Amino acid sequence: MSDEREDDTVHDAARLLAAGHALGSLSPEERESYERLLRSSPDARSEASDFAEVAAALKASPPKADPPADLKARLMAQIAVTPQTPRTAPPDDSPAVTEAERKAQRRWYSRPSVVVAAAAAAVVLFAGGTVVGFAVAQHSQSTVQADTLASITSAPDAQRATAGVTGGGTATLVWAPSVGKSAMIVDGVGTAPAGKTYQLWYIRDGHATSAGLMSGGWQVLQGTLQSGDVVGVTVEPAGGSKQPTTKPVVTIAS
């Protein structure tokens, strides 16, 4: 088992280096180390060739218009407020899987962080044909947040409640006791004034506890939502406050 984990770790690192090499984002030290690997490993050379082809195809693609800034928030909000109907899987008539095949499947499909990293390595954003951003070495915090939100909304015990926001728009609180997490999603709500930020609060027994700051269309709350908690959002000075200094623009009971 330990040998398999070591093989997985080495291969994961090689994939990230292959992606970075294809996109020219490696440091001089990383590039030198990876090129030594290429000279000694046919498998590494084959994988590098695959990534290079993907990078070349992306660079040859016509420029695409930037998506609306709130597109992701709108999609996540729609997912959160749409009840998910469980699907019945069709009978599985596929042949029995061998132990070797199971090991291969565990390596490639049971490691979410690796899948995300590999996907990130295949995504390049262009503006007029120029690469404007890329990250291959980290599973970003925003990705962690998105994964958590997805786990909340897809949980069998997921619950949701929506309320209007002062000044316009709506806020939806989604939570799942089995996941132990909750998230606030807003739609049609303006950005906080200059020098201000939105702050989330758990309101429990008349006391408010910070649940983090919110700068985008959705945010996974810090801490754990307890049964009966009310979640509120206030406008606070940049960086947040220890206690609310303004009246909540929205409150939602769980």
> Where are the chain's structural domains?
2-84+112-138, 142-253
pLDDT (mean) for 237-246: 96
- pLDDT tier at 145 (50, 70, 90 boundaries)? confident
- pLDDT tier at 233 (50, 70, 90 boundaries)? very high
Alpha helices in the chain (DSSP H): 2-23, 28-40, 42-60, 71-81, 99-109, 112-121, 141-154
Residue 29 has pLDDT above 70, yes or no: yes
Write the pLDDT tens digit of every residue in 76-120. 555 555 554 554 555 555 455 455 444 433 433 333 343 334 444
d(C-alpha 140, C-alpha 142), whole Å: 5
pTM: 0.51
Lowest-pLDDT range, 45-54, 82-91, 198-207, 228-237?
82-91
Neighbouring C-beta atoms of residue 167, cutoff 10 Å: 11
pLDDT value for 212: 96
Between residues 114 and 206, the one the model is more confident about: 206
Contacts by 78-81, CB closer than 8 A, 24 or more apart: 79/150, 79/153, 80/149, 80/153, 80/160, 80/172, 80/174, 80/183, 80/185, 80/218, 81/160, 81/162, 81/172, 81/185
pLDDT (mean) for 210-230: 91
CB-CB contact of 215 with 197 (8 Å): yes
Residue 42 has pLDDT above 60, yes or no: yes
Percent of the chain, pLDDT > 70? 58
For the chain, the average pLDDT equals: 72
State both tokens at 221. 């709350």
Between residues 176 and 3, the one the model is more confident about: 176
Q: Which helix (H) or strand (E) holds 193?
A: none
Residue 130 has pLDDT above 50, yes or no: no
Write the pLDDT tens digit of every residue in 43-68. 778 878 877 777 676 656 555 555 55
- pLDDT tier at 141 (50, 70, 90 boundaries)? low
